[in-house]
């Protein structure tokens, strides 16, 4: 399910207020070569992803640099509880109109307690965005809208999704794909990573 959400073109101070700082910045789950968003990689047809820059033949606003996963918490001390997920996509240049930003994570133990996919989507168009975050069971029998909000920060060059707490503590990401598409032209950049990341730990 896709919903209209307001595109918040906020300065860093406002973003910091919306997303409280953590003790140490989390390491990106996924990193990608800067300068490879050239739109001619045929990345959606299972050809190898480019590992080198093709700049200046690259579109910065569609160029993925990294994607970071982090747990949102509420309370403190003994009452501190995991309360959702934050996904931050960093780009080579500020996000802009006419670009779609997408990610998909494969989980063990999310919305159905077994295996599932948590995915997000954002299309920027004239400062109003169409965004979503959806948790889908492995067999496709259930699909839930889990989006809290999406924020775009042109100064930090990021798009950040926040989701409701739909997974149990300890649920684990096993792999992730991120991509960008430019209107009409198609996929411009795509990146993939695998490895364990645990929610709430």
CB 89 within 8 A of CB 103: yes
Residue 149, domain member (yes or no):
yes
Residue 46, domain member (yes or no):
no
Residue 113, domain member (yes or no):
yes
Distance of alpha carbon 95 from alpha carbon 84, whole angstroms:
24
CB 166 within 8 A of CB 150: no
Residue 45, domain member (yes or no):
no
Residue 132, domain member (yes or no):
yes
Distance of alpha carbon 44 from alpha carbon 42, whole angstroms:
6
Domain span at 149: 3-40+52-196
Residue 47, domain member (yes or no):
no
CB 189 within 8 A of CB 179: yes
Domain count, the chain: 1
- Tell me how far apart the terminal alpha carbons of the chain are, to the nearest angstrom: 29
Residue 108, domain member (yes or no):
yes
pLDDT in tens, the chain (201 residues): 444 443 433 333 333 344 444 456 789 999 998 888 877 654 444 444 445 555 545 788 999 999 999 999 998 888 899 999 999 999 999 998 889 999 999 998 766 667 889 999 899 877 667 889 998 887 777 888 999 999 999 999 999 999 998 888 889 999 999 999 887 666 788 889 999 999 998
Query: pTM of the prediction?
Result: 0.80
């Amino acid at each position: 399910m896709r919903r209209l959400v307001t595109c918040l073109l906020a300065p860093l101070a406002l973003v910091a207020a919306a997303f409280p700082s953590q003790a140490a910045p989390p390491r990106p789950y996924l990193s990608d070569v800067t300068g490879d968003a050239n739109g001619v990689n045929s990345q959606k047809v299972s050809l190898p992803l480019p590992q080198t820059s093709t700049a200046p033949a690259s579109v910065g606003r569609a160029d993925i640099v990294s994607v970071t996963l982090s747990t949102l918490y509420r309370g403190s001390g003994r009452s501190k509880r995991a309360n959702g997920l934050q996904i931050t996509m960093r780009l080579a240049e500020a996000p802009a109109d006419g670009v779609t930003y997408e990610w998909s994570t494969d989980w063990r133990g999310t919305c159905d307690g077994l295996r599932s996919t948590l995915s997000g989507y954002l299309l920027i168009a004239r400062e109003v965005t169409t965004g979503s975050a959806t948790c889908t069971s492995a067999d496709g029998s259930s699909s839930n809208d889990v989006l809290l909000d999406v924020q775009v920060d042109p100064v930090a060059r990021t798009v950040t999704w926040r989701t409701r707490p739909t997974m149990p503590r300890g649920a684990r990401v096993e792999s992730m794909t991120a991509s960008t598409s430019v209107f009409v032209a198609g996929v411009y950049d795509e990146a993939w990573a695998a490895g364990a990341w645990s929610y709430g730990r």
